[in-house]
Amino acid sequence: MRAQKSSPKPPAGRISNRRYYDEFAPRYERGRGAGYHRLVDDLEVGTVARYGRGKTVLEAGCGTGLVLERIAGFASRAEGVDLSAAMLAQAKQRGLPVVQGAITALPYPDDCFDVTCAFKVLPHVRDIEGALAEMARVTVPGGAVLAEFYNRHSLRYLVKVLKPPSAISERATDESVYTRYDGLSDIRRVVPPNLSLESIRGVRVVTPVSHLHRVPGLRTLVGAAERAASDAPGARRLGGFLIAILRKRAAPEPARGGG
């Protein structure tokens, strides 16, 4: 009996975000249309719908356009930007208006979107303050910035610490890219002064491992619990992902001269 050929061992060192997502692009959508991944997408899209229905929306870090395509169904205009050309190639195949660029230097003018959102992107950005400042810059005064963080006070973080690396290609794993984990107090510290933290929403609050969502009956129960916990005041703080709902402050009116 012939022995199976093993896959090459991924390098131990970190790689750039652009290279990581170019590597990930061919496998990124595997299993994303059902179970755990579908639930996460539903909660993220639902958050955008609360603030962006009938409005202009930018998704920073849109990837292959899975979430952006759904946002386009209820927004008056939805656009996307991403660092990875390989990810964007799939978004363009969906007919979505996307451009290549970094979240720390968004290729848009000031005050041009009602809502700016980023999911699973900010945790891989070292200059988190710069990224949030850019998201705020392109958002209109009074508009919403929806910024998702990985939460270090969560079951998901504990699982990530204990589990072995997961391959995302033959040359890289999910530990090949820079990743940060932030609690609510950390998020408050990095929010720029022109944004105010209005609320948070928790995603993956009660799911210890994603495989639970592959079991039909259990999937329904856990899914219902996740939807209820996402907005529950105590439970939402424990989400594996924390969506910070930030509001851009109106610019102060110039002082009037004395008469």
Q: How far apart are CA 111 and CA 109, in angstroms?
A: 7
Angle between helices 17-24 and 85-93 (to 10 degrees): 50
162: confidence class by pLDDT, cuts 50, 70, 90: confident
The rounded percent of the chain whose pLDDT value lies above 90 is: 73
Query: What pLDDT sits at residue 257?
Result: 58
Among 147-151, 179-183, 249-253, which stretch is predicted with the lowest mean pLDDT? 249-253
Report d(CA 183, CA 177) in Å as an integer.
20
Predicted confidence (pLDDT) per residue in 24-65, tens digit: 999 999 888 888 999 999 999 999 999 999 999 999 999 999
Domains in the chain and their CATH numbers?
Answer: 17-247 (3.40.50.150)
**What secondary structure does DSSP assign to 161-182, as a single string?**
HHSPP-BSSSS-BTTSS-----
Task: Judge residue 163's burial from the number of C-beta atoms within 10 Å of its C-beta, 0-12 exposed, 13-18 middle, 19 or more buried.
Answer: exposed
**What is the pTM assigned to this prediction?**
0.90
Which of 5, 11, 6, 7 has the alpha carbon at shortest distance from 173?
11
Structure tokens at 9: 């061992």
- Give the pair of three-digit tokens for residue 248: 């851009």
The answer to whether the CB of 201 falls within 8 A of the CB of 40 is: no
| Beta carbons of 201 and 47 less than 8 angstroms apart | yes
Q: With beta carbons less than 8 A apart as the criterion, state whether 201 and 243 touch.
A: yes
Position 258 pLDDT exceeds 60: no
Helices (H), 14-127: 17-24, 35-52, 66-71, 85-93
Interior/surface letters 108-146, b for 16+ CB within 10 angstroms, e for the rest: beeebbbbbbbbbbbbbbeebebbbbbbbbbbbeebbbb
